[in-house]
Amino acid sequence: MLVVRSDCDHCRNLVEQQFDDPDRRRLDERTAVFLAGGTEWLFQFDRVSMDVATGHTISWDSEEPFVASPAVFCLNEGTVTRAADGAAADSFIAELFSAQVDGTQ
């Protein structure tokens, strides 16, 4: 799961570099991307792009929660198992994809 902001150059670069194929994901896993900003965040599954066009939103009743962007979370049955944000997000995603290539997942 990724949380990115449209006004974040780091987020845009991460998505463009790591997801030049928006359908890229690890074997037997799904992706979700949330486009943060304001009290409603657009989101979509299985396509990582800064252009979220599904019309699906998550709404916050009060203020937008703070998330250091970009933020990347690995979940297993709804539990966060690993995560990274900010500058560490780039190497974290690269590690996740390289682990699948060498079979270590």
Q: Examine the pLDDT at 100 and tell me if it is beyond 70.
A: no
18 lies in which domain range? 2-102
Q: Are 16 and 82 in contact, with CB atoms under 8 Å apart?
A: no
Give the C-alpha separation, 48 to 25, whole Å.
9
- Percent of the chain predicted with pLDDT > 70: 94
Distance CA 2, CA 33 (A): 5
Q: What distance in Å separates the CA atoms of residue 71 and residue 3, rounded to the nearest whole number?
A: 5
Provide the number of structural domains found in the chain: 1
Has this prediction a pTM greater than 0.75? yes
> What mean pLDDT is predicted for residues 46-73?
90
pLDDT given at position 102: 46
Pairing label, strands 2-5, 32-36: parallel
- What length is written for the chain? 105
Q: Do the beta carbons of residue 85 and residue 68 sit within 8 Å?
A: yes
Location of structure tokens 């933020």: 71
**Whether 85 contacts 70, CB under 8 Å:** yes
